[in-house]
Structure formats: structure tokens, C-alpha cells
């Protein structure tokens, strides 16, 4: 499981970085989205990977039987914030497209 | 300390939310609410400052929702955070008064975004929790995206596109760093992390340092270190003047967080074997000063000079933080306040000076030096307020004071700040009987040359604006536009006159940072006894 998660985070992050460095605004926004997916997976994996373990403690059971709830709360916050920021960036992107007449990140073709 | 510490966060939150509900047509009502909320914030922050100065404990905590410390989020009020909150509120007051002339009407929801920016800034200064810091960072960034776009226009949208993209990417780095630290230390409370860090196994230490380094990059982007700060001049120059004045403290926020975290995790007495990133901060800071200095000299127009001065100021602070010495840091904190006031003042002045100038004038002004003088300016209609020769003289005097402040020339506080930093740097080596190292001399030289470059560049634009063109249109200026400039300059003058008590306060702030146990003990004090108050 660790290898699969690690490879998928790596692939997502690498594709994200490559797209962020592309000259079209749409590529940049998709790249940033992929980067944030990679980061979300990373946050999730920081609570150690476990399957079939609930994140909620009830009663005085063995703590080792539960998954760490904190990264799950963190990833939720990160997803919400990332979503809002992507929406905001989309608006700026459209405004830039409307004002400059091109979808190049520098506002002019080279 | 009661519930006073939460007010700098809650007050702007409610003010911002209430302002969003008022229709944009009632812009005078919105402005009045905004000014009232900001005035209240200034009062609260001054009370907090008095609390820290005279109260029984230097460092006090506030538990959100009264959750016990390692589990709940905690706000920490120490001299440094109290000072930063006070500086933010004073800057905000100046910026909002300036915007009363016309900028608050230039777009939608300016007032709400302004208050939310204050909420994010104050929260980031006060919080003692790493993830909560991320949330406040995002709040202030979201507000700053809106404010950077305020007034719209092609240059602002283009600059904002880069600004948003760079900051979204650096937010990703922030998250990776913060959660990597959580993965190793098992806590997000900064004091708790600092306490556990020395106890980790060597393998985990490496992971912690990697996490801290990634986290650091996110803040260095914010602070505008070379080569991560290329977005800064364009964004700040394109932003509306009151917004740019507020942005002057955004880059200081990056420096603040780096100072806070490095002193907690890797400072003297923290048990860490290496001071992670000290060399990066020193060399990066110096490179930033050099880059900013070249930028200042090459700039056409005062707005860009101000932007590159922001970089010089950030670079200076980062290099000083890299010294990891309480004396140097105390001087740097004094310089931080004085340079933030000076830069905010300069951003406000820029617009007044360039009002009534055609956009090509700045290019013209520089070419004038090379190709001789021939004045043929078109008449321009004044945009606002009344024009008198007196305003021109007032502007000139304000510009001279501002230039002296930013360049660090005597007699204003900019000079004292640099003097204190250089003095402390020269003392660090000689206290142990060693000779002053070559690195210190290089730093001193770069600091002084950067001041000289700022003097040359600002003098050049001052001469071109105020002396060369006699037939120019006198800019029309509202009283409310010159008031914040006078406020900032008066504060700088106050800092110069009362340098001794202020410097002793900065000394306690720096000592509180570097007496390692202080912060950790204050935050974790309630831990043994269970839930706090």
C-alpha cells in the first residue's frame, strides 16, 4: 500500500509541476489542482496508512486499533481551502483572458 | 488576560462579515463602519501592547473554546506578536483613511476584504498552532487576491494572475511542510513541537528538518527572498496604493514566521544541534539586498523603487534573522517597524506624486538625464480635491522625510535601525574576544551601499518630480490623503525621539524569543493540571 500511495503522490506532483510551468493559464490551473491532490494524499498519509480502522475513539479501547483522526481533519480543511482558491483563480484567469485577449500567462504571445 | 487576545481576530471577522451585507451603494456607511472597526482594532492592539509591557507575565496564552493545550488551538501573546498586531492596526488605519478619498469606491467589497485581510494578519501573528497558521495564511491570501485586483485593469489582472499562482504553489509547500512535521512530531502546537524535537530519533530529526525546510520555503516566497521573490515588484507596483501600503506588512509576515519558528525549533537552547537554514537566511538575505539594490537603481518611477525597497528591507531582516542573536534581532525588530512605516508611506506618496503626470513621464524623466531637458507636458485635469502650491510643498517635504526613512539616513528612525543592527553585529564577535569576521564586514558594507543606492534613486525621482518641470500641473490632494502620510512620518519621528524605551521593548521581545523555555513553558503550563483556567 505504501508504495502505491507514494508512487501516485509522486506522479500527481510531477504532472502538476510540469503543467504549472506551461505557458497557458488553463494548464497552470490544472497543474495547481493536481499539485493540491498530491498534497492532500500526502497529508492523509502522514497519519500512517491503515485499512479498516476507524478514526474515532470510543471508550477505553486499544489506541493502536484506530487511525489518526487529525490528518483526516486537516485534509478536509485543505480540500475546502484548495477548492475555494481554485475557483478564485479561475475567475482571475477568465478576467485575464477577457482583458488581454490571450490565454498566455504573461498576457501576450511570444 | 481575559478575552482581549481574541479580539484582534474576532473584531475584523465580524466587521468584514457585516460590511459584506451592506449594499455597495451605501459606500459612505461602509467606509464609516470600516474606519470605526479599524479604530477599535488600534485601541485593542494598544491595550494588548500595554498588557505585555506592564502585565505580570511577558507571554500569555488564550485557549480557543477552552480546549486544553496540546489538543486545542492556542493563541499566544508575547511582546513580538503584540508589536506586530499593533503595527498592522496602525498601518490599516492609515491605509483606510487614505482610501477614503476615492479608492474605497473603485471596486466591490473593498471594505470587507480589507477587514478580512486584517483578520488573517492578526490571526497569523497570534496563533501558536501550525495548521491554524495555515488557515489564517489562506484567509489573508484570499483577501489579498481580492485587494490586489481592486480597481481592476489590465496590469492588475496580469500581476494578480502571477501572484495567485505563486501563492497557491507555495501554499502547497506550506501544507507539505506542516504535515511532515506533524507526521514526525505528532503534534501541531508550535511549543509542543519545540519541546519534542530534541527527543526525536536521529532519523526522525532529519525528517523534521526536511519538513521545516519545505515550510521555510513557503515563508521565504512570502518574504520575497531572491530568487523566490520575482513576483513581488510587479504585484506591489500594480496594486492600488492603500492596498500596496498594507502589502508592505505581508512580506514582514513571512519574516515574522521564520523568526518565530527558527528561534523555537533551532534557536539557542532548543537542543537542536544545527541551526537549520541560518546560512541560507544570511546568504539569501544578502543576495536579496543586492538584487533589490540593483532593482532600486534600475527602476523608472517611484512605485517600482518602493517595491524593490520592500525586497531590500526583507533581505535585510532575513540576513539579520540568520545571525540568530538576541541583540541583532532586537535591532532588526526596530528596523522592521520603522521600514514598514516608511515603505507604506512611500506607497501612499507615489500615487499623489504621480497624479497629474502622464504615464510616460517616468521613462521620460530617466531619458532626460541622458538626452537633456525639453518640457512639453500636456495639461491634465485634476482628479480629486483642490490644488494649491502649498500641497506641492507639503508633498515635497513628506517625500524627503520618507526617502530619509527608507534609505536609512540620519536623523530619522531608519538610520537608528541600521545603526543598531550593525552595532549589534559588530558586538557579537568581539564579545568573545574574537576579531570581527569578514562576513560581518561584507554584510555591513552591503547594508550601507543599499542605503546609498536608495538615496540616489529616490533623490533622482524627487528632483524630476519636484524641481525639474516648472510648468507642471500641481496635483490636487485631499486632506485625508496627506493625513496618513503625516501619521506614519510622525510615528517614525516618535520612534526616533523615544528610541531608548522602544529599543528596550524590542530587547525584551528578542529576549522572549531566544529564552527558549519561556514560550514553551508559557504555552504548556496548563498541561500538567489538565484544562486551563
Q: What is the 3-state secondary structure (H, E, C) of B130-158?
A: HHHHHHHHHHHHHHHHHHHCCCCCHHHHH
Provide the shortest C-alpha distance from residue B172 to chain A (in Å).
6
Chain B positions touching A46 (Cβ under 8 A) are 179-180, 182-183
> Is-contact B276 B209, C-beta < 8 A?
yes
pLDDT at residue B148 is higher than 60: yes
A-B contacts (CB, under 8 Å): 82
Query: Among all chains, which residue has been given the C-alpha cell 466587521?
Result: B15
| Mean pLDDT, range B445-460, rounded to an integer | 92
CATH architecture assignment, domain A2-53+65-100: Orthogonal Bundle (1.10)
Q: In whole angstroms, what is the distance from residue B374 CA to residue B41 CA?
A: 50
CB contact (8 A) between residue A74 and residue B179: yes
In a domain, B88, yes or no: yes
- Which is more confidently placed, B117 or B393? B117
C-alpha distances in Å from residue A49, one per residue of A37, A43, A66: 17, 11, 11
| Mean pLDDT, range B150-165, rounded to an integer | 87
The string of DSSP codes covering B332-369 is: HHHHHHHHHHHHHHHHHHHHHHHTTS-TTHHHHHHHHH
> What ranges in B3-109 are assigned the alpha helix state H?
7-21, 27-54, 79-99
Task: Give the per-residue pLDDT at B91.
Answer: 94
Number of domains in chain B: 1
Task: Give the per-residue pLDDT at A60.
Answer: 61
Query: Among all chains, which residue has been given the C-alpha cell 518640457?
Result: B375
- Taking the alpha carbons of B50, B42, B306, B384 in that order, is the dihedral positive or negative? negative
pLDDT at residue A105 is higher than 90: no
Task: Give the per-residue pLDDT at B375.
Answer: 43
Residue of A78, A86, A105 lying closest to B175 (CB–CB): A78
β-strand partners of B395: none
C-alpha distances in Å from residue B120, one per residue of A43, B201, B227, B243, B378: 23, 35, 26, 15, 44
Q: In whole angstroms, what is the distance from residue B100 CA to residue B77 CA?
A: 32
In a domain, B353, yes or no: yes
Chain B positions touching A20 (Cβ under 8 A) are 165, 169
Cα-to-chain-centroid distance, residue A85: 11
In a domain, B528, yes or no: no
With bands split at pLDDT 50, 70 and 90, how would you rate the model's confidence at B372?
very low
Average pLDDT taken over every residue of chain B: 84
Query: Among all chains, which residue has been given the C-alpha cell 514566521?
Result: B257
Provide the shortest C-alpha distance from residue A27 to chain B (in Å).
12
CB contact (8 A) between residue A46 and residue B145: no
Count other Cβ atoms within 10 Å, centred on residue B227: 9
Lowest mean pLDDT among A28-32, B231-235, B376-380: B376-380
Q: In whole angstroms, what is the distance from residue B161 CA to residue B108 CA?
A: 19
Task: Give the per-residue pLDDT at B527.
Answer: 65
Chain A positions touching B138 (Cβ under 8 A) are 81, 85
With bands split at pLDDT 50, 70 and 90, how would you rate the model's confidence at B488?
very high
Task: Give the per-residue pLDDT at B533.
Answer: 35
| Mean pLDDT, range B149-169, rounded to an integer | 88
Which three cell numbers, joined as nine digits, stand for B532? Answer: 486551563
> Is-contact A35 A16, C-beta < 8 A?
yes
Chain B positions touching A85 (Cβ under 8 A) are 138, 141-142, 164, 168, 171
Chain B: which residues have CB within 8 Å of chain A? 131, 135, 138, 141-142, 145, 149, 152-154, 157-158, 160-162, 164-165, 168-169, 171-172, 175-176, 179-180, 182-183, 188
Which three cell numbers, joined as nine digits, stand for B13? Answer: 471577522
Task: Indicate the SS3 state at residue A67.
Answer: coil
Q: Which of A20, A81, A94, A103 to mutate to test the interface with B (most CBs of B within 10 A)?
A: A81
A21 inside 8 A of chain B by CB: no
Residue B460 structural domain: 4-359+387-523
CB contact (8 A) between residue A89 and residue B175: no
Residue of A74, A78, A92 lying closest to B157 (CB–CB): A92
Lowest mean pLDDT among A26-30, B105-109, B389-393: B389-393
Q: Which of A78, A86, A87, A103 to mutate to test the interface with B (most CBs of B within 10 A)?
A: A78
Chain A positions touching B172 (Cβ under 8 A) are 32, 35-36, 38-39
Provide the shortest C-alpha distance from residue A20 to chain B (in Å).
8
pLDDT at residue B237 is higher than 60: yes
C-alpha distances in Å from residue A101, one per residue of B149, B165, B206, B290, B293: 18, 19, 49, 37, 35
Query: Among all chains, which residue has been given the C-alpha cell 528612525?
Result: B413
- Which is more confidently placed, B531 or B255? B255
pLDDT tens-place string over residues A87-102: 999 998 998 888 888 8
Which three cell numbers, joined as nine digits, stand for B396? Answer: 515635497
A84 inside 8 A of chain B by CB: yes
Triad B369, B373, B376: Cα angle to 5°? 130
The string of DSSP codes covering B372-440 is: -----PPP----SSB--HHHHHHHHHHHHHHHHHHHT-TTSHHHHHHHHHHHHHHHHHHHTTPPPPHHH
Q: Which of B179, B211, B214 to mutate to test the interface with A (most CBs of A within 10 A)?
A: B179
With bands split at pLDDT 50, 70 and 90, how would you rate the model's confidence at B326?
confident
Query: If you measure CA to CA, which chain A residue comes closest to B156?
Result: A96
Chain B positions touching A25 (Cβ under 8 A) are 161
A11 inside 8 A of chain B by CB: no
Distance between start and end Cα atoms, chain A:
45
pLDDT at residue B85 is higher than 90: yes
In a domain, B369, yes or no: no
With bands split at pLDDT 50, 70 and 90, how would you rate the model's confidence at A6?
very high
> Is-contact B352 B103, C-beta < 8 A?
no
In a domain, B519, yes or no: yes
pLDDT at residue B166 is higher than 70: yes
CB contact (8 A) between residue A85 and residue B149: no
Lowest mean pLDDT among A103-107, B48-52, B405-409: A103-107
Chain A positions touching B154 (Cβ under 8 A) are 99-100, 107
- Which is more confidently placed, B473 or B340? B340
Chain B positions touching A100 (Cβ under 8 A) are 154, 157-158
> What ranges in chain A are assigned the alpha helix state H?
2-20, 25-45, 69-100
Amino acid at each position: 500500500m505504501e508504495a502505491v500511495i507514494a508512487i501516485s503522490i509522486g506522479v500527481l506532483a510531477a504532472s502538476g509541476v510540469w503543467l504549472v510551468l506551461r505557458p497557458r493559464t488553463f494548464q497552470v490551473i490544472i497543474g495547481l489542482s493536481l499539485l493540491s491532490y498530491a498534497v492532500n494524499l500526502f497529508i492523509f498519509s502522514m497519519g500512517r496508512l491503515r485499512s479498516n480502522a476507524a478514526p474515532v475513539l470510543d471508550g477505553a479501547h486499544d489506541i493502536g486499533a484506530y487511525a489518526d483522526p487529525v490528518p483526516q481533519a486537516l485534509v478536509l480543511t485543505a480540500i475546502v481551502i484548495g477548492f475555494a482558491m481554485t475557483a478564485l483563480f479561475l475567475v482571475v484567469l477568465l478576467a485575464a483572458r477577457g482583458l488581454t485577449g490571450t490565454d498566455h500567462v504573461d498576457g501576450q504571445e511570444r | 488576560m481575559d478575552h482581549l487576545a481574541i479580539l484582534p481576530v474576532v473584531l475584523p471577522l465580524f466587521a468584514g462579515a457585516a460590511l459584506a451585507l451592506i449594499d455597495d451603494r451605501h459606500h459612505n456607511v461602509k467606509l464609516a463602519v470600516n474606519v470605526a472597526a479599524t479604530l477599535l482594532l488600534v485601541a485593542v492592539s494598544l491595550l494588548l501592547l500595554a498588557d505585555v509591557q506592564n502585565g505580570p507575565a511577558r507571554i500569555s496564552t488564550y485557549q480557543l473554546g477552552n480546549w486544553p493545550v496540546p489538543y486545542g488551538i492556542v493563541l499566544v501573546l508575547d511582546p513580538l506578536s503584540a508589536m506586530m498586531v499593533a503595527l498592522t492596526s496602525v498601518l490599516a488605519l492609515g491605509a483606510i483613511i487614505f482610501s477614503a478619498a476615492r479608492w474605497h469606491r473603485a471596486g466591490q467589497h473593498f471594505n470587507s476584504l480589507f477587514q478580512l485581510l486584517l483578520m488573517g494578519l492578526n490571526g497569523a501573528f497570534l496563533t501558536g498552532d501550525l495548521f491554524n497558521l495555515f488557515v489564517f495564511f489562506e484567509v489573508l491570501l484570499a483577501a489579498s487576491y481580492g485587494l490586489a485586483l481592486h480597481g481592476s485593469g489590465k496590469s492588475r489582472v496580469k500581476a494578480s494572475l502571477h501572484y495567485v499562482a505563486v501563492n497557491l504553489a507555495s501554499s502547497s509547500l506550506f501544507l507539505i511542510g506542516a504535515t511532515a512535521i506533524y507526521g514526525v512530531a505528532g503534534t501541531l502546537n508550535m511549543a509542543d513541537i519545540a519541546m519534542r524535537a530534541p527527543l526525536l530519533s536521529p532519523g526522525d530529526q532529519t525528517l523534521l528538518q526536511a519538513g521545516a525546510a519545505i515550510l521555510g520555503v513557503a515563508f521565504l516566497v512570502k518574504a520575497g527572498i531572491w530568487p523566490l521573490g520575482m513576483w513581488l515588484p510587479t504585484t506591489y507596483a500594480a496594486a492600488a496604493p492603500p492596498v500596496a501600503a498594507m502589502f508592505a506588512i505581508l512580506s514582514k509576515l513571512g519574516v515574522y514566521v521564520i523568526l518565530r519558528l527558527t528561534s523555537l525549533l533551532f534557536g539557542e537552547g532548543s537542543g537542536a544541534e544545527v541551526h537549520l537554514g541560518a546560512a541560507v537566511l544570511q546568504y539569501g538575505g544578502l543576495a536579496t539586498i543586492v538584487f533589490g539594490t540593483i532593482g532600486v537603481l534600475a527602476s523608472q518611477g517611484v512605485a517600482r523603487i518602493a517595491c524593490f525597497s520592500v525586497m531590500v528591507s526583507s533581505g535585510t531582516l532575513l540576513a539579520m534573522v540568520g545571525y540568530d542573536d538576541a541583540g541583532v534581532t532586537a535591532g532588526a525588530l526596530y528596523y522592521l517597524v520603522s521600514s514598514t512605516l516608511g515603505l507604506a508611506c512611500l506607497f501612499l506618496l507615489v500615487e499623489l506624486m504621480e497624479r497629474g503626470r502622464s504615464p510616460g513621464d517616468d521613462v521620460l524623466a530617466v531619458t532626460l538625464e541622458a538626452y537633456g531637458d525639453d518640457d512639453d507636458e500636456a495639461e491634465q485635469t485634476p482628479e480629486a480635491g483642490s490644488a494649491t502650491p502649498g500641497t506641492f510643498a507639503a508633498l515635497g517635504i513628506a517625500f524627503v522625510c520618507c526617502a530619509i526613512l527608507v534609505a536609512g539616513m540620519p536623523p530619522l528612525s531608519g538610520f537608528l535601525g541600521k545603526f543598531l543592527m550593525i552595532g549589534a553585529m559588530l558586538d557579537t564577535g568581539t564579545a568573545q574576544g574574537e576579531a570581527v569576521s569578514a562576513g560581518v564586514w561584507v554584510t555591513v558594507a552591503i547594508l550601507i551601499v543599499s542605503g546609498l543606492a536608495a538615496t540616489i534613486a529616490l533623490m533622482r525621482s524627487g528632483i524630476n518630480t519636484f524641481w525639474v518641470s516648472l510648468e507642471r500641473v500641481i496635483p490636487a490632494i485631499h486632506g485625508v490623503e496627506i493625513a496618513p502620510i503625516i501619521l506614519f512620518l510622525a510615528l517614525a519621528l516618535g520612534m526616533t525621539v523615544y528610541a531608548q524605551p522602544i529599543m528596550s521593548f524590542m530587547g525584551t521581545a528578542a529576549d522572549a524569543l531566544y529564552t527558549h523555555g519561556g514560550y514553551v513553558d508559557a504555552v504548556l503550563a496548563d498541561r500538567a493540571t489538565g484544562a486551563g483556567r
